[in-house]
Amino acid sequence: MIERKVKKMHLNAHLAFGTAVTLLLVNFLQLHLSFLEVAICIAASFVVDTDIVLLRFARHKNHRLLPTHSMLLPFALIVLSACFLFLVEGTSLVWAAWTCAINVLVHDVLDSIDWGLNFFANGKIVGKKVLLGGKTPEEFYAEAQKSTSAYAIFCMTYYKNPAMKALEVTAIVAMCIVLAITWPGAGHEQWWTMPAYAALLCFHVIGYRRSSRPKLAQPA
């Protein structure tokens, strides 16, 4: 089986885009959200990937095939925001739920670019899937399984792709610009996103370096 730590756009990129989207919405729509609500909205952009704990239930051990990586989650958040609208009129929870839904949709759009995801909850991978190189997911999985480290195949494919490098750069640039724009307001309260981004980036870079390290020859 393919190893656990594969098949996801890097968490630091999701965090960066989520920070940018959330703070832009809060700033330009003048949303009156608490620090915790804004933080939860930002976290919604990457906590979707915690569904990796359900990997044993996913076909090909690919968490992108789980219902959590589909339209069902943002739809549920939209329904929740509608409930807040009618049950707790005037509450900021409405806007928080809407912002969470938007961030989950952004997460799905980004995931559709690299490997694709089960967006329509029908068990089929959809999206640009630029890293599959024209192969079907099954063909790519079969090739990865032949490697001594399936994780290395996925990791090297991601980091060697110019589009993914450009997306990573776009993510951090967008995050820094939006933090600067909103710093007098919500931006300075969400300073935690910067060390969190650095920590997640280090985590992925260490994984990349380990996967790209030559394997020692086994003794005869």
DSSP 190: T
**pLDDT tens digits for 80-102?**
888 887 777 667 889 999 999 99
pLDDT, average across residues 168-191: 93
Full-model pTM: 0.87
Domain boundaries, the chain: 11-208
DSSP 161: -
What CA–CA distances, in Å, run from 184 to 17, 101, 102, 179? 20, 26, 24, 9
**pLDDT tens digits for 29-84?**
998 999 999 999 999 999 999 888 887 887 777 888 889 999 999 999 999 888 88
CA distance 162 to 147: 23
> Under 8 Å CB-to-CB from 153, ≥6 apart: which residues?
143, 144, 147
Task: Please list the alpha-helical segments (H only) found in 90-192.
Answer: 93-114, 137-145, 150-159, 162-182, 188-189
CA distance 46 to 29: 23
Q: What is the predicted pLDDT for the residue at 127?
A: 92
Report the run of H or E that residue 10 belongs to, with start and end: none
pLDDT, average across residues 174-199: 93
Q: What is the predicted pLDDT for the residue at 214?
A: 59
For residue 136, pLDDT beyond 50: yes
Give the rounded percent of residues in the chain with a pLDDT score beyond 90: 51
For residue 5, pLDDT beyond 60: no
Rounded (to 5) percent helix, strand, coil in the chain: 70, 0, 30
